[in-house]
Amino acid sequence: MKTLTGAEIVIECLKEQKVDTVFGYPGGSILNIYDALYKHQDEINHILTAHEQGAAHAADGYSRATGKVGVCMATSGPGATNLVTGIATAYMDSIPMVAITCNVALPLLGRDSFQEIDITGVTMPITKYNFIVKDITKLADTIRRAFAIAQTGRPGPVLVDITKDVTAASFDYEYKEPKPIVRQEDTITEEDLETALTMIRKSQKPYIFVGGGAIIAGAEEELSSFAHKIQAPVADSLMGKGAYDGTDELYTGMVGMHGTKTSNLGITECDLLIVIGARFSDRVVGKASKFARNAKILQFDVDPAEINKNIKTHASVVGDVKSILRKLNVRLDPINHEEWVAHIERLKDMYPMRYEKSILTGPFIIEKIYEVTGGDAVIATEVGQHQMWAAQYYQYKYPRSFITSGGLGTMGYGLGAAMGAKMGVKDKVVINIAGDGCFRMNFNEIATATRYNIPIIQIVLNNHVLGMVRQWQTLFYGKRYSHTELNDQVDFVKIAEGMGAKAYRVTSKEEFEPVLREAIALNVPVVIDCQIHCDDKVFPMVSPGAPIEEVFDAEDLKI
């Protein structure tokens, strides 16, 4: 046992939790922690981002790529509030993250002091839990609890706010080994398993719908065994990409608003929909009353609050989905559904993904990235058309290889997340796909990438419009393009070069592959500005609020 300042206790607790990288931005209230961090810079790597929001997104991306808890730091007031969008992004996608902020000293709380904000009050709806530490005797145990809560059950972000006087005070510290995170199995009942087994065995046309919960649980091997054992096609949500091998013959693509026709029609026709770690987002189900209307629905999820929340289920098993699948696989004999699988294969042949092949487009760029990287890269995205193309045209073979904001849909997320991911998986090629609208929001983080030589590749699908909003304006708003055109004088190549990155502009299909290969070989921060047409659209598509079987594409619009 030794006597340390509160700031030093924070650092020692981070070391206890095996934290190797922290993303943040200093300020007055958190200076004591940054001073302590200075003394431990050989043990904990700190990345100074250009903006606190970038720090939160980087911690989130680090967590998604590694499965570890991401950590970010900020000072009081505006420093803390600048983390809010990143915390909310992590909350919506169940990402384990600990955000550490410092507030004004205890005597100044509640007095509208300089740079004071009630950050625990602000973040209460968007954290799994949050704390304000006003007593140094509770500091170490609070941080330990924060890490445990962030990882237990359904993960999520936890915020720890510490008053400045606590970081300056002294108290006894004793090292404690973190307790292992135990999978939630006590809620998995024999009765629920037997019901699930009966439904699976009776089904003639089963379909598996997998979400991000399967990735969080590390259930990819059990999921693959399960799908092949019961011979069921597999579709995924945006967050479920990589939970099931995208090159496997049973895989049918994403489901929902921009899902494949095969997945949308197949789920509509199936007699049993097995939902694994997915929450029935509105972008997935479309018109809820018509979703999988011919099927019984069997849901596996660690969070009981998700059962019957958006879609009424016929049965469920609550608990860690890896454990659920392992228990089911042991009891299941192989089931033959060859006729059903053959029907789904015919749908695949009838409704392939299609795009204009003669010019440089988003889908062409995504397919070329897949070809050049062999499907072995980590792909991050911003939010919009480019995000959907990245989900549709890159075949994700592995979990934690697709880093994107699903629930909150955060423009400006991907660049920070890509940097965080690269810090966590240094041996992987990490590419962020952005639209020009998203890139504008946080492109200042290119300066962070060059400062630390974080060799990410930033690809901008530059159509000079807010592409997804324009697509809706074209289809549903009579082509009234209200404030979605970005025809100005901004030059992304010059901006990137001004921040110290290597930059290219690509205007044709032929130019893209050699530029991408050179960018990978350089192993430095690179920006590739790809000029595409403003009216390229994401298809297939389901109109908002329509049943998912009413999916259409460009060919259907010609009729």
Catalytic residue among 114, 221, 249, 312: 114
Residue 528, H or E segment:
strand 526-531
Is 52 catalytic? The answer is yes
CB 18 within 8 A of CB 190: no
What gap in Å lies between CA 355 and CA 363, rounded to an integer?
7
Residue type, 215: I
Catalytic residue among 199, 441, 468, 499: 468
Catalytic residue among 52, 269, 367, 382: 52
What gap in Å lies between CA 415 and CA 1, rounded to an integer?
42
Catalytic residue among 15, 115, 345, 509: 115
CB 510 within 8 A of CB 360: no
Q: Which of helix, strand or coil describes residue 20?
A: coil
Task: Tally the C-alpha atoms within 13 A of residue 507's C-alpha that lie toward its C-beta.
Answer: 1
What gap in Å lies between CA 186 and CA 319, rounded to an integer?
7
Within 8 A by CB and 6+ apart from 428, the residues are: 65, 376, 377, 378, 421, 422
Is 115 catalytic? The answer is yes
CB 69 within 8 A of CB 95: no
Spatial CA neighbour of 404 closest among 373, 436, 438, 429: 438
- The 10 Å Cβ neighbour count of residue 32 is 21
CB 237 within 8 A of CB 406: yes
Is 419 catalytic? The answer is no
Is 471 catalytic? The answer is no
The per-residue DSSP string of 362-405 comes to: HHHHHHHHHHHHTT-SEEEE-SSHHHHHHHHHS---STT-EE--
Is 185 catalytic? The answer is no
Supply the residues annotated as catalytic.
Answer: 52, 114-115, 164, 468
